[in-house]
Amino acid sequence: MERNVTEELMEILKKKKVDFLTLSQLNEALLVALRKQLGLVTGSKGPHIEKALMPHLGEALIMKGKYIALKKTDEDLLLCVLKKNNWKIPRMDRVPFKKDEFFNILNKLLERDAIRVKKINKEYKILLLAPADDALPTGKTVSEEAFRSAFRELERGEIFVDIYALRRRLGWPTASFDAILKTLRDAEKIQLHAGGITTMTADEIADSFVDENGFRMGSVTWM
């Protein structure tokens, strides 16, 4: 009796608790009878495996290079990859994306605040990402008044206030803080400055602000 190949492939991913496997890994995990049904052997190579499995992907699976993955958007699939890798940038030979494709998708996730940069090194290389904050902490109100109040508390007679210090004082979700920052800047109520970045720690730089042109801003003044 022939087995339902699509269901068997889905079951393998489910048992291994993964969203994708290389063609070779999947072939090794196939039951002997199913492998025989597909005309494969233990040592079958990628192109042969791909040709055998392609007609059986159904609506739930997709082929991504040398991988078979659950059918998701590229962004959702990359989020799964990052979560499995504890939010660190994985090795490129361990993800179902080409290098350029990976970073294009990563940038889209950052642009829509689906993820945030948590830690970078002195060369501005990303060491650690994190999921975007989904909920506002209890008692934290997002408003221009709250922003201005935090600014005054941190100002202490100085003209410049570090953006990372403001971000941490307010404790707002990344998207909410950045939105207020942009709104006040566009209304010409505040001015953002790149100065000070070179003296900050990696964590402080990660909590600063990158504008629409890719420039990292370290401090803010009230106009």
The topology (CATH level 3) of 1-71 is Arc Repressor Mutant, subunit A (1.10.10)
Tokens representing 40 are 């494969």
Tokens representing 90 are 């994985």
Contact 200, 164 (CB under 8 A): yes
Q: What is the pLDDT at residue 133? A: 60
DSSP secondary structure letter of residue 121: -
Measure Cα distances from 79 to 71, 82, 109, 112, 145 in Å: 13, 5, 9, 13, 35
Question: Which comes out higher in pLDDT, residue 138 or 222?
Answer: 222
The Cα–Cα gap between 56 and 106 comes to: 30
Half-sphere exposure of 127 (CA within 13 A, CB side): 11
Amino acid at 78: L
Tokens representing 129 are 């990402």
Stretch among 7-16, 18-27, 196-205 having the lowest mean pLDDT: 196-205
Nearest alpha carbon to residue 171 among 199, 207, 197, 205: 207
Query: Where in the chain are the domains?
Result: 1-71, 73-132, 144-222
Q: What angle is formed at CA 47 by the lines to CA 43 and CA 53, rounded to 5 degrees?
A: 85
What confidence tier does 68 reach under pLDDT thresholds 50, 70, 90? very high
